[in-house]
Amino acid sequence: MRLSDQEYNRLLLLKKVRTSEPVARIDLVGLTGLTGGTITAITADLVKRGIVIEEKVASSAPGRPRVNLRINPTGKYVIGINATGDGQAVAEIVNLRGESLGVATAALKPATRIEDLAQQFVAALEDAIAGWPVKREEIFRIGVGLPGIVDSRTGIVEQIITFEPGPCNFGEIVSGALGIPTLVDNNINLLARAEHWYGAGAHADDFTLINVDLAIGAALYRGGQLISGAHGIASEFGHTKIMPDIGRPCFCGANGCLQAYCSIHSIIEQSCERLGRQMPSHEVMNPCFDGLMAEYAAAEIDIRTVLEQASHYLGIAVANHITMQDPEAVIIIGPPVARMDELRGAFFTALEQNTFPALRRRTRLHFKPRDQGAYARGAAAMVLEHVYAAS
């Protein structure tokens, strides 16, 4: 869903102030492409609201002194929180510049109901807020990231694979308990926001992030905005079909999904089938995957066919995406190709063979290891985008 022109202009201007501060209004004309009149009107309102502060620069030259703008670091504070793959809740509080003021972690107990997970988030946030040097009434918003199907417009969680089905109004539970408005989104969207604000996409307005984890997800930034569907739900890149009808079954009920070949879950499943091992429980899949990779690296097991197939199909899926969407850059986070150099050949061969040539030459690729802290930063960035666009 797109922002209105007014919201987009505010968001664009504040992001440019943040990355260029201290910066004069006249310099923002070139940085944003907005007219001087639009910049004057927006910044006057932002100064009045305490989002932006003015600083006069001393000068011996005649005429009016230069006035620079900065984001007000004490204007508002926001919190990002998410559940990690190892059973932790990680919360981070940041100011309007996106600077971290504190990080807190809490162990999550096993649960089957999404409502129970929401209550655990409430308890983790209560403890975190009590330990941070910011009063509760100074916290403007909370951003929550979850590994599930989320309607980002309403904060309603439709599904998390390891929990009983929703819907659950996660945002309402958290905001009702803490008295702080709460936004909720899919974890992959939060990773994209973290990249846009802090990572490889920090100076790019147009990129696609693909996350290879227990499941596979993707998020798109276009024109400096995160793109979500008409129903506020993130892209289900992992459920695009790579072997339709005749492929491996996927947990979504279909066959041949990218997820069924390239995710960590599917690599473990296929490896266990090949080695005659029992499939591990969901809670220990990440350490199980690390163990398989260590065994493979030591030549103790042979799962190269599984890994090369995963890299090959991921290359085809990325090729299809580049051909259809023409992103400026594609950022791939996580294994197998991001961590294992010897598998990149299968990925790039498939990519080169299946991408429209003119687009392949123009698309930059980045491979990054996973950073669990990026989820909380992305949740905070989600709230900052909301503050910037609507404040």
**Could you state, in order of their start, the residue ranges of all structural domains in the chain?**
5-71, 77-194+373-390, 203-368
CA distance 373 to 187: 12
CA distance 228 to 134: 32
Of residues 272 and 200, the one with the higher pLDDT is 272
Q: Quote the tokens at residue 124.
A: 């983790």
Give the mean pLDDT of the chain: 86
Q: Which residues contact 326 (CB under 8 A, 6 or more apart)?
A: 359, 362, 363
CA distance 213 to 147: 10
Burial of residue 29 (number of CB atoms within 10 Å: 0-12, 13-18, 19+): middle
Q: What is the mean pLDDT of residues 310-334?
A: 91
CA distance 170 to 72: 30
**Residue for token pair 């392949």:** 360
Please tell me whether the overall predicted TM-score, pTM, comes out greater than 0.85 for this model: no
pLDDT tens-digit series, residues 149-185? 888 888 899 888 788 888 999 999 999 999 999 999 9
pLDDT of residue 320: 93
Angle, helices 187-198/373-390, rounded to nearest 10 degrees: 80
CB 140 within 8 A of CB 95: no
pLDDT band at 391 (very low <50, low <70, confident <90, very high): low
Q: Quote the tokens at residue 81.
A: 């929180």
Range scoring the smallest mean pLDDT among 92-106, 128-142, 329-343:
329-343
Q: Is 203-368 the same fold as 5-71?
A: no
Say whether domain 203-368 belongs to CATH 3.30.420.40: yes
Q: Whose CA is closest to 372, among 334, 331, 336? A: 334
CB 343 within 8 A of CB 308: yes
CA distance 80 to 124: 12
pLDDT of residue 175: 95
Residue 220 has φ and ψ, to the nearest 5°, of: -125, 135
pLDDT band at 387 (very low <50, low <70, confident <90, very high): confident
Q: Quote the tokens at residue 362.
A: 């123009």
Would you report the helix, strand and coil content of the chain in percent, each value rounded to 5? 45, 25, 30
Q: 162 by DSSP, 3-state: which? A: coil
The CATH architecture one would assign to domain 5-71 is Orthogonal Bundle (1.10)
Dihedral sign for Cα 195, 198, 95, 226, please.
negative
The share of the chain scoring above pLDDT 70, in percent, equals 92
- To which H or E segment does residue 237 belong? none
Q: What is the mean pLDDT of residues 241-264?
A: 88
CA R_g for the chain: 23
Identity of the residue numbered 58: A
pLDDT at 50 over 90: no
Q: Whose CA is closest to 52, among 16, 4, 27? A: 16
Q: 134 by DSSP, 3-state: which? A: coil
CA distance 30 to 174: 41
CA distance 21 to 9: 17
Burial of residue 152 (number of CB atoms within 10 Å: 0-12, 13-18, 19+): buried
- To which H or E segment does residue 346 belong? helix 344-354
Q: Whose CA is closest to 49, among 85, 112, 96? A: 96
Beta-bridge mates of residue 83:
89
pLDDT tens-digit series, residues 269-280? 999 999 999 999
Angle, helices 304-325/264-275, rounded to nearest 10 degrees: 150
Of residues 225 and 262, the one with the higher pLDDT is 262
Could you say which of 1.10.40.50, 3.10.580.10, 3.30.420.40, 3.40.50.10090 is the CATH number of the domain covering 77-194+373-390? Answer: 3.30.420.40
Name the E strands within 49-147. Answer: 52-57, 66-71, 77-83, 88-95, 100-107, 139-146
